[in-house]
Structure 1
Amino acid sequence: MPPFYSNCKVLFGFLLAFVLALPEAQAQDPRFSQFYASPVQVNPALTGVFPGEYRFVANYRTQNYAVLGNQAYKSIGASGEWRRSVGQDDYFGLGLVALRDQVGESRFTQGRAVVTGSFLKHLGSGRYRSSDQFLVAGAQAGIGQWRYDFDKPWFSQQFFVDPANQQAFVDYNLPTGEDLNVNSTDIFLDFSAGLLYYNVLDENNSFYIGGAMHHLTEPNVSFLDDQSEKLYRRWVGQAGAELSVTRELSLLPAVLVMGQGPAFSTTAGLNLRYSNHDWREVAIRAGIWGHVANQLDDKVGLESTIISAILEVERWQFGLSYDITVSNLATANNSRGAFELSLIYVHPEKTRFKTVCPKF
């Protein structure tokens, strides 16, 4: 079999499996497996919820590189936040968030840049004097745009078979036969809102629960001026905790549930955290997670198993994770799903008394 046909067969098999794994051919928001390390991408109410004066976060994800190579899915997220006190025990947070996602040979790209803000209301101490409860309301407002590059992909009318030797190739000089004069959507406004409640019982025990709604106005993302294609709202539910096992060891279970149009997914699991509890704290985490999603027949099944590792060194947190595909896509990508990196920097507060926050 000629190499061209062999490559086409592999690529077609992967794309077919991928399409069958989706509920509909609708564009969806990119996601990060390390959702606990991309807080304001998940919920605007997580703006300012960190034990420091300001925080910088960077996330990188590449998916299905084993099959698609340089055409693999790539997601890059970044955020910066700053928090200040309001009165005695309340706070407000403010920041900027950016997200870029690129897919396939056409370089279909989703871009988003928003301002994020929150208000942290102290609800008082709980039963134990050391515990603190907060209710946080957050919102985001910004712009987005989708783009593609149709100079890269080829279409059926450009596929040519030489009758003399039966060799197949793509002739990019031939017309595509498609009316594709617009390569980007209009810049659209985008709004999100969220709530979060958390209770810090002591230094090593806490819990939180929250939710958010993204794309509140369902902006038009059609590439054609005379048509309308609404971007589905995306709802998010999340919960998590820190549970101490010993002074040095604790469990960090968490769950994230999301829905966007016909798409539904859940990521749940836990990280095991070990800390030396020194004044220059160093901690390591190792975890296992499961990602569940619905498929074409609306059946919900396990899509991937995620292995994670995190190193905390004072103000810095370095994380990496790997998605092992276990769904029908495993045949096409040899179970090599996604690789992800995260980096978080938290600058300590200048004030004597630090803000009380849970660990994520």
Structure 2
Amino acid sequence: MKNNILRSFLLAFTLFLLGNSAYGQDPAFSQFYSNPLYLNPAFAGANNNGCPTTNLNYRDQWPGIGRTYVTYSASYDQHVDALGGGIGLMVAQDQSGSGNLNTLHASLLYSYLLEVNREFTVKAGFEASYRSLNLDWSNLTFGDMIDPTYGFIYNTQEDIINNASNVNFPDFSTGVLGYTEKMYFGFSAHHLTQPNQGFISVSNLPTKYTAHIGGKWPLSRYKNDIITISPNFLYQKQQEFQQFNYGVYINRGPIVGGLWARNSLENFDSFI
């Protein structure tokens, strides 16, 4: 009962954000460089040797509550010399409230590669997406359904039959990436047109801004492998929401380990 009430509250809060002018927040992956196309469209075809790259990601926020926020994503990208850059395809699904609210989006990406000189390269990326939001009103819990003693025993008197259950719209994003042999940095802006995603009233999806920077330097050699250190920093802002991720990777061949931290402007969030 306690978990059901908490899930209902979280979903009701999500609907409040969608139905009003309050801000919304995109799902955020803690290991953001493991989902590069989601981070910045300029990463499309970043592997310039022509080999394709595929990524599969799964995210379950607050799993103890019971699949409250679950996100899946899959992507494919490849550098194509004939196009002067890289192309990519990404599909992602976000489920809120045990699947009562589903967001599905599919994206096509292209990035143009410009070699400024032998040491510095710039990539400019563009992403065109189609988003579909689906809300199952029949599984929602409203305040008039709750009895203080016996819990959820009443039928709601809310008029949910005439409410829209699907919202579909195009979405556009862009980004830039610059890198040398040891340093890289980038900036991206998602939801440039701030499309309407409201079910009941107008609710524009706010633009999300991301800045990231990092590097990779050799520390020592162990047998035939070079051990490297890679510090990274990320900043994201989506209307009132702001987040910082910072940490370091240690690499030895195919083995990668590290320690990360995440916090907002107000307080520390967690270690990753």
TM-score of the superposed pair, with normalisation by structure 1: 0.66
**1:228-307 correspondence runs (5 A):** 228-247=202-221, 248-275=226-253, 283-294=254-265, 300-306=266-272
Distance 2:161 2:210 in 1: 35
Distance 1:74 1:61 in 2: 6
Distance 2:261 2:157 in 1: 42
1:269 Cα deviation from its structure 2 partner = 0.4
2:107 to 89, 110, 114: 114
Distance 2:4 2:121 in 1: 55
**1:335-346 correspondence runs (5 A):** none
- Match for 1:171: what amino acid? I
- Match for 1:245: what amino acid? L
Deviations 1:72-112 (A, max 9, x none): 210111111121124xxx94111111111111146222221
> 2:192 aligns to what SS in structure 1?
coil
Deviations 1:165-191 (A, max 9, x none): xx503136x234244533534311100
Distance 1:146 1:190 in 2: 13
Structure 1 residue aligned with 2:150: 168
Deviations 1:54-88 (A, max 9, x none): 1111110001011x11x4210111111121124xx
> 1:65 aligns to what SS in structure 2?
coil
Residues 119 and 137 of structure 1 are in contact (CA less than 8 Å); yes or no, is this contact kept in structure 2? yes
Distance 1:52 1:269 in 2: 30
Residues 53 and 84 of structure 1 are in contact (CA less than 8 Å); yes or no, is this contact kept in structure 2? no
Distance 1:220 1:212 in 2: 21
Distance 1:120 1:114 in 2: 20
Deviations 1:287-312 (A, max 9, x none): 11111124xxxxx2211110xxxxxx
Residues 116 and 139 of structure 1 are in contact (CA less than 8 Å); yes or no, is this contact kept in structure 2? yes
Distance 1:152 1:288 in 2: 40
Structure 1 consecutive aligned stretches of length 4 or more whose deviation exceeds 4 Å:
none
Structure 2 residue aligned with 1:137: 124
Taking a change above 3 Å as real, the CA distance of residues 106 and 59 of structure 1, as seen in their structure-2 partners, is closer
- Match for 1:54: what amino acid? P
Structure 2 residue aligned with 1:158: 145
Structure 2 residue aligned with 1:85: 81
Deviations 1:314-359 (A, max 9, x none): xxxxxxxxxxxxxxxxxxxxxxxxxxxxxxxxxxxxxxxxxxxxxx
> 2:220 aligns to what SS in structure 1?
coil
> 1:151 aligns to what SS in structure 2?
helix
Taking a change above 3 Å as real, the CA distance of residues 268 and 274 of structure 1, as seen in their structure-2 partners, is same
- Match for 1:209: what amino acid? F
Compute the RMSD of aligned alpha carbons.
2.5
- Match for 1:233: what amino acid? T
Distance 1:47 1:84 in 2: 10
Q: Structure 1, unaligned stretches of length 5 or more?
A: 126-131, 162-166, 201-205, 276-282, 295-299, 307-360
- Match for 1:60: what amino acid? Y
Distance 2:41 2:4 in 1: 43
Distance 1:25 1:219 in 2: 14
> 2:167 aligns to what SS in structure 1?
coil
- 1:221 and 2:197 correspond: yes
Q: Structure 2, unaligned stretches of length 5 or more?
A: none
Structure 1 residue aligned with 2:172: 191
Q: Quote the sequence identity (%).
A: 28
1:229 Cα deviation from its structure 2 partner = 1.2
Taking a change above 3 Å as real, the CA distance of residues 195 and 61 of structure 1, as seen in their structure-2 partners, is same
Structure 2 residue aligned with 1:102: 95
Residues 215 and 234 of structure 1 are in contact (CA less than 8 Å); yes or no, is this contact kept in structure 2? yes
Residues 132 and 168 of structure 2 are in contact (CA less than 8 Å); yes or no, is this contact kept in structure 1? yes
Structure 1 residue aligned with 2:135: 148
Residues 185 and 222 of structure 1 are in contact (CA less than 8 Å); yes or no, is this contact kept in structure 2? no
> 1:187 aligns to what SS in structure 2?
strand
Taking a change above 3 Å as real, the CA distance of residues 180 and 272 of structure 1, as seen in their structure-2 partners, is farther
What is the count of residue pairs matched by the alignment?
Answer: 259
Residues 105 and 153 of structure 1 are in contact (CA less than 8 Å); yes or no, is this contact kept in structure 2? no
